[in-house]
Structure 1
Amino acid sequence: MTRKTLGLIAAAGSAALLIGAFGFQFLGYAPCKMCLWQRWPHAAAILFGAALLAFGGRVWTLLGALAAFATGAIGVYHTGVERGFWEGPSSCTGGGTGLSGLSGADLLSTAGSANIVMCDEVAWAMFGLSMASWNALASFALCALWIAAFRAPESR
């Protein structure tokens, strides 16, 4: 396969994962902060695929591989937070350490943080893997496709 073909397949994979994420959101699975972080590199990979199509060249494949690796790494980090291997961001995890600066009125207030989706809770899983885990696996596969695109000939 050619560089453009492999790169476009990888970019289409990122598009499919983004569509899936928005589909789950449409079904009522609100994304947490870390879920949203995982979406940005997929969007970048789609743009890199479009640039590869328009301009050709290897630089876009390297950037696509970096984007896919980045979202995969965020997915691994998110999975570790979900499984309690390490702490996540205090703004979306249930460590309870963020209460020290709050007044009594703040603690009793019902305004504000009711819409926070916790990053350390698994909203959906299949075969024991959360959405973050599946994103990581798929993203590393896409990274491999981007690397194959880098190594492939420009055209036949």
Structure 2
Amino acid sequence: MFGMTRLALLAAAAPLFAWSSEGLFGLAPCELCLWQRWPYLLAAVLAFGAAASRRARPVLGGLAILAVLASGAIGAFHVGVEQGWWPSPLAGCQAPRAVPGASVEDMLRNLAPAPTKPCDAPTYLVPGLPVSMAAMNVLYALGLAAAALIWLRRGTRI
């Protein structure tokens, strides 16, 4: 039970950290950054359910681990976009492009409704450390999923 509670708290901590880094450090998220947060929130809900229900613990715990890994997979895809290995298919990830002959009003109408940044512009939390926030998410998701799998397999006695 305590292992699944830990998983829930640590899964919820990831998007909370991302939101606080926006406010504290002024970091702007891109659309892929925002997508990486939803699986963690789902994992937190599933893990709390696993902690509350002994009978459903294996299924809910396993689904929570898969949700954490889904965020890591989105993060790995995001790292590929940042590195220029492939383009993002999300429209919100593309930098606004100037259209020759377009008026200022036309360009303003084509802007995204919310301020975004291109997904291929990495955000670095630690100056001088060449590990982007997306790459940190991949490492965090892999570590959290591994720990959660251990907690689940041990019967969450930790």
Q: Give TM-score, length-normalised by structure 2.
A: 0.82
| Match in the other structure for 2:20 | 23
Contact 1:14 1:46 in 2 (8 A): yes
What is the deviation of 1:94?
A: 4.3
Q: Residue 150 and residue 122 in structure 1: after superposition, are their counterparts in 2 closer, same or farther (change >3 A)? A: same
**Pairing 1:135–2:137 present:** yes
Displacement of 1:45 in angstroms is: 0.9
Separation in 1 of the partners of 2:105 and 2:85?
Answer: 29
Deviations 1:65-97 (A, max 9, x none): 10111000111110110011111125113496x
Unaligned runs of 5+ in 2: none
Residue 105 (structure 1) shift: 4.2
Q: Assess, with a 3 A threshold, how the Cα gap between structure 1 residues 136 and 95 changes in structure 2: closer, same or farther.
A: farther
- Residue 39 of structure 1 deviates from its aligned partner by 0.3
Opposite residue 149 of structure 1, the aligned amino acid is W
Match of 1:49 among 32, 47, 50: 47
TM-fit CA distance, 1:104? 3.1
Name the counterpart of 1:81: 81
Q: Which has the higher contact order (CA 8 A, sep 6+)?
A: 1
SS of corresponding position for 2:117? coil
Q: Deviations over 1:3-33 (max 9, x none)?
A: x222222222112211110111213212111
Deviations 1:82-133 (A, max 9, x none): 011111125113496x96xx98348852344262311110122432110000
Within 5 Å, give how 1:7-156 maps onto structure 2: 7-27=4-24, 28-56=26-54, 57-91=57-91, 92-94=93-95, 104-105=102-103, 108-113=106-111, 115-126=115-126, 127-153=129-155
Residues 7 and 145 in structure 1, CA contact (< 8 A), matched pair in contact too: no
Taking the aligned partners of 1:136 and 1:39, their CA distance within structure 2 comes to 12
Q: TM-score, normalised by structure 1?
A: 0.83
Q: Percent identity between the aligned chains?
A: 31
Paired AA for residue 7 in structure 1? M
Structure 1: any 5+ residue segments left out of the alignment? none
Distance 1:46 1:90 in 2: 26
Range moving further from structure 2, 122-131 or 75-84: 122-131
Task: State the one-letter code of the partner of 2:153.
Answer: R
